[in-house]
Structure 1
Amino acid sequence: MNWVLVVFGAMVGAPLRYLTDRAVQTRQDSVFPWGTFTVNAAGSFVLGALAGAAVSSGPYALLGTGLCGALTTYSTFSYETLRLAERGWTFLAVANVGASLLVGLGSVFLGAELAASLVAS
């Protein structure tokens, strides 16, 4: 029955990704994909927090696989990076890759550490 939890999590995560992306991107006067960057960082933090809290399989299916899986987007990140490079914004394309990796890994680490410390106390 975990697949049902994944579906419900994704039903929340996908629209949340779209709405967050649009809200962030419309406030930026930049070709840099800030919306995708934001949802990927947020999703990484939440996934790290779930791992740090060592949640059981049910909540992980709902929030980790479903919500975070639909909230974050590797395909859009890849496409937007390709489009930046194709349009001649090589620095921004490279910056998007580097910053996304650093912020994503940092976010998952911070989420895991924060949740683990909260659970331990």
Structure 2
Amino acid sequence: MSNTMLVAVGGFLGAMARFGMSKWISSRTKSAFPYGTFAVNLIGSFLLGLIIGSQMGENATLFFGTGFMGAFTTFSTFKVENIIFYRNKERKIMFWYLGLSYILGVFVAFVGFTLGSTS
């Protein structure tokens, strides 16, 4: 399978997984905090760290890392949600969301990378 097809198929599956998981989580929380996007991005950060740390090989990395995780995580939705918090003057939620997302995202990616490197 070509590199482009690996990324495309992985991306399709990742986008579908993100949509389903984000909607499922959001439907179970009644809060202004976007738990669906937050959870998907943290899970994706951990898994991408694990994938890269484990050095799976080029095809697996293209499929799972670039394709699936690239579409599973959602940086653009994260940014738009923060803009909406800002415009709605929900600064406390915005700062918590930004801080937790960046700090925990880097932390879980590091944990995933470390676990992947040791296996």
- Tell whether the structures are fold-level matches, with TM greater than 0.5: yes
Instruction: State the Cα distance separating 1:35 from its structure 2 match.
Output: 0.5
Query: Which ranges in structure 2 are unaligned for 5 or more consecutive residues?
Result: none
Letter in 2 for 1:5: L
Counterpart of 1:54? 55
Counterpart of 2:24? 23
Q: Deviations over 1:79-120 (max 9, x none)?
A: 001111111110111111110001110111011111112x2x
Counterpart of 1:89? 90
Equivalenced residue count is 118
What secondary structure does 1:47 align onto? helix
Query: Which ranges in structure 1 are unaligned for 5 or more consecutive residues?
Result: none
TM-score (norm 1): 0.94
Cα distance between partner residues in 2 of 1:8 and 1:15: 11
Cα distance between partner residues in 2 of 1:33 and 1:103: 15
1:64 aligns with 2:69: no
Counterpart of 2:110? 109
Instruction: State the Cα distance separating 1:52 from its structure 2 match.
Output: 1.0
Letter in 2 for 1:65: T
Q: Deviations over 1:21-80 (max 9, x none)?
A: 111111111011111011110111111001110121110000000000000011000000
- Between the aligned residues of both structures, percent identity stands at 33
TM-score (norm 2): 0.96
Cα distance between partner residues in 1 of 2:104 and 2:23: 20
Letter in 1 for 2:114: E
Letter in 1 for 2:70: G
Cα distance between partner residues in 2 of 1:52 and 1:69: 16
